[in-house]
Chains A and B, each alone.
Chain A
């Protein structure tokens, strides 16, 4: 556990040392000509590309488009997964009716549907939304179901003894009890979300970060290709940090998530 490390500027800087060293190594290799720019451009060249793309506004536009796609897919797929997870977790009948089918569909890699999805939706916005929503659905569904199922039955009995009605039991016992597991699902879902979006935008899109990378590839603009990759990394990291912040807020009662 990190709690044993001494608190200080040094231990705070520790995680950044290796990435920093790698970037310096990369820059030096490029400057000395060991890394040709058409294989991997220097970090400074990537920064420069970012500046150019920022100035002509296309970076912000593409970023906005990708972000909006990611979030809408997450909200749609997440909401459906969450609702079905709750439903099947709370009702044995619903689970018997739906879960076997869902477990079967789960085994199909959702990206394998891309050709079919393009036939159904063309390469429009709905195709990408469908893929992202489908991708995030399963981790959220499975972990919500698992979370609801695994709420301590002794706590549920306690709630009943104290006369909680179903609504209160759900809000005060079942949902909070399932929350840690739901967050695990959300983390997985975010990973799937970016992955799906990258693939979908790379294969079929005329805007977004993935499209920016593919367009750059045609002109061998490696700096922009690398820039796109870096942006995806940053977006992924931001999403992860946001989840962590939510966990710290909502799971503060759990010593495993309490702020160190």
Chain B
């Protein structure tokens, strides 16, 4: 049994600015994100990626400009962080149930939790404590918790950043599968340009608080790394990220 597709919701930003005191972190951001799109966001550390993400799911408010995201009014936006942030004292199932919100319990809730745990490949682990899971499995629980209420907008802030390379590849496939099955709009911040290209319909590059590159990725899914087209897109992003500094590029 799999969850019903719920579809995504659009996000639009017009001339958005965000400042913390006198520190202007984002300025002049214009973005139209159609419902159901998978958006990858890359940029150097401290450029404002997390801030942009927090704005788009309503965790922070804009300093100026207009942000329009229907998911916020419907409380249908969720976020997954780099750390799973599971309750260590709650079982896998109870952690997922947190995602259902207040007063949601009983048979229907159990079924929803079971369905989403199956979607993320954790069937049969409902009763375990988080301490009994691997890092990848914990992140799957966090994903299940975010998805169980069938959000139309899902923000992911370096969701795979703490995982080893092999687990990442597994998790990328899982994330792509969940997105295809459920149809939510995905906004994913990542440090890994390859990951951005592999998953995004579109890659947005932020630099000094502005969108400096907005690159559509029109490759068929599931995408194969190492093809010339894939490499060309990666190259384009890295060029923009590091300019002409070949050593920095090499290190990446």
* Residue positions of A touching B, CB distance < 8 A: 154-155, 157-159, 161-165, 168, 172-173, 176-177, 179, 251-255
Contacts and interface: CB of A to CB of B under 8 A. Distances in A.
Nearest to B57: A161
Interface in B135-154: 145
Interface string B67-82: 0000000010011010
A162 B87 CA distance: 13
Interface residues of B, number: 19
Interface string B95-117: 00011011000000000000000
B72 to A, nearest CB: 12
Greatest chain B CB density within 10 A among A157, A172, A253 is at: A253
A158 B90 contact: no
B75 A253 contact: no
Contact of A155 (B85, B131, B145): B85
Nearest to A172: B87
B83 A254 contact: no
Contact of B98 (A154, A172, A251, A254): A172
Given A158-B85, A253-B129, A164 B79 contact: no
Given A165-B102, A253-B129, A253-B131, A172 B90 contact: yes
Classify the interface of chain A: helix, strand, loop or mixed.
Answer: helix
A255 B102 contact: no
11 contacts: A154-B83, A159-B98, A162-B98, A164-B98, A168-B102, A176-B87, A176-B89, A251-B89, A252-B129, A253-B131, A254-B131
Contacts of A158: 81, 85, 98
Interface of B: 59, 75, 78-79, 81, 83, 85, 87-90, 98-99, 101-102, 129-131, 145
A155 B95 CA distance: 12
B101 A163 contact: yes
B89 A154 contact: no
A252 B79 CA distance: 29
Contacts of A253: 88-90, 129-131
A3 to B, nearest CB: 15
A163 B89 CA distance: 19
A127 to B, nearest CB: 40
Contacts of B89: 176-177, 179, 251, 253-254
B129 A162 contact: no
Given A154-B81, A154-B83, A162 B131 contact: no
Contacts of B83: 154
A157 B60 CA distance: 12
Given A168-B102, A253-B129, A253-B131, A161 B87 contact: no
